[in-house]
Structure 1
Amino acid sequence: MLLTSCGDKVTGEPGTAEPTANSTSSIPGSTSSPVPGGGPVACVDWVRFETPQDEYDNAGVVLIGKSVSRAGETSIYGSKATTHLVEVEQVLKGDPGEGNLRITSMPPTCTVGGTYPDGDPLDTDQRVIIFATKQGGDWFTITPAQGVLPFPEGSELPFH
């Protein structure tokens, strides 16, 4: 579902980082970036789904709900990510368990302008459709750009 490539954490440009003699890669297929603050940097090239049906087909869980609060932070692919407590209105696919669900907004990697340069898609009090996948024991939106769709009352599902 994703590919990794080398990038410079400062500029986010692919291929601008040069590996050093003592750098190591923690993710297969990626190289390290000698940036201040150091450590390997993986720039993830996310799959682009052509339709909401493709998102639905590839998600482990699909639900209608809304974020009720922030529930902490975590790290994935070397990037900081915000976790939200989501009030689940209806589960459309999968089995996330009962009650409210902790879901982390998958962050874009190697970006300029902070963790979510276009805004955290779960940082809304609006009703949304969430496409999620499990990483380790935690739920994450399926991609940074396509894990959340607005879904106002009276809307029709964009998939079947």
Structure 2
Amino acid sequence: MTEDFDSFYAATARRVVLHVYAVCGDLGDAQDITQEAYARAWQQWSKVSAYDNPEQWVRTVAWRLAANRWRGFRRWMAAQARLGRSGADAAGPSPDRVAVVAALQRLPESQRQTVALHYLLDMTVNEIATTTDTPVGTVKARLSRARAALAALLNDDSQEVPDVAVRS
């Protein structure tokens, strides 16, 4: 059982980290979240290993953990603002990284997930449909809408970021 899990982890962990990194925009957080998702998989390995796609189960758990962490961070920031405290004055990420992460965060969760699966994990539309239990046409629509929204949000020609109305 241990060797089976170790092989699974070695074969899939990098892809899961990339997926979570696209979701949360912080490599350290992505690694922590991925580790937690694999710890949960290990605890239930006899059940998880019997699934058709155990990696999908780990990605789903990691996705939910990242969403929960993001919600907690937003609550913490709101509390800090109410207390009149600002964040640390450490050097921040590059402007390009900030722009991409901000643009991704403005996408609906379903589009953000689809973009991460397609561009970071190199999954095809059919693989995404199977993984997320979503019709192929819906996956195509999410990718198309996400591309259009990201293009508008990341357009260097405009001074202000437009308020892009996006649907999942």
TM-score tier, shorter chain, comes to under 0.3
TM-score (norm 2): 0.20
Higher share of residues assigned strand: 1
Between structure 1 and structure 2, the one with the greater Rg is: 2
Structure 1 length-normalised TM? 0.20
Determine which structure has the larger helix proportion and give its number: 2
